[in-house]
A and B are shown apart, each in its own frame.
Chain A
Amino acid sequence: AQSVTQLGSHVSVSEGALVLLRCNYSSSVPPYLFWYVQYPNQGLQLLLKYTSAATLVKGINGFEAEFKKSETSFHLTKPSAHMSDAAEYFCAVRIYNTDKLIFGTGTRLQVFP
Chain B
Amino acid sequence: GAVVSQHPSRVICKSGTSVKIECRSLDFQATTMFWYRQFPKQSLMLMATSNEGSKATYEQGVEKDKFLINHASLTLSTLTVTSAHPEDSSFYICSAGAAKNIQYFGAGTRLSVL
Q: Which residues of A contact B (CB under 8 A)?
A: 32, 36, 41-46, 49, 51, 90, 94, 99-106
Contact = CB atoms under 8 A, between A and B. Distances in A.
The 3 A-B pairs at the shortest CB distance, nearest first, are namely A43-B105, A44-B105, A103-B43
A104 B43 contact: yes
Contact of B102 (A42, A49, A100, A104): A49
A99 B101 contact: yes
12 contacts: A36-B105, A41-B110, A42-B108, A44-B95, A45-B1, A45-B105, A51-B101, A90-B44, A99-B32, A99-B101, A100-B34, A106-B42
A107 to B, nearest CB: 10
Contact of B46 (A44, A46, A100, A104): A100
Given A99-B97, A101-B46, A106-B43, A43 B106 contact: yes
Given A99-B49, A99-B103, A100-B49, A43 B108 contact: yes
B101 A32 contact: yes
A91 B32 CA distance: 21
Nearest to A105: B43
A84 B19 CA distance: 34
Nearest to B108: A43
B11 to A, nearest CB: 13
Contacts of B95: 43-44
Contact of A43 (B42, B97, B101, B107): B107
B16 to A, nearest CB: 26
B4 interface: yes
Contacts of A105: 42-43
A43 B102 contact: no
Contacts of A106: 42-43
B93 interface: yes
Given A103-B44, A105-B42, A41 B108 contact: yes
